[in-house]
Amino acid sequence: MEAIPKEITIWLDTGSIRIQHIHPNCVFPDKARKNCPLNSDQKQNKQNNWIISSIRVISEHAIGGIKRFKAASDICRNRLPNMDDTMSCVCVVTLDDFTVFVSTV
């Protein structure tokens, strides 16, 4: 966590709430607890919670796709000419589109 610059926003779920002590720029959804219901300000932030969860769903699906296709662990046995360059361009464009989506939300 120390390697992540302070100006980068980290989007997390409530399971990793201790990270906010290490990195100051974290975004968490508001969550009611057993003996501590949501107050009126937190109830009005349902739209904020929806945005946080929708961004997390996109990233979780991307991680699941990487695991499902074993893209991170297997060797790429590509036999087509220029396929490495093509895939690199596709990955950069996809990542750039995702970054634009996150910054506009």
Sign (positive/negative) of CA torsion 18, 23, 24, 29? negative
Is 45 in contact with 32 (CB distance < 8 Å)?
no
pTM (two decimals)? 0.52
The pLDDT assigned to 104 comes to: 47
* Residues in the chain where the model's pLDDT stays below 70: 1, 43, 71-73, 76, 78, 91-105
- CA dist 48 and 52 (Å) reads 6
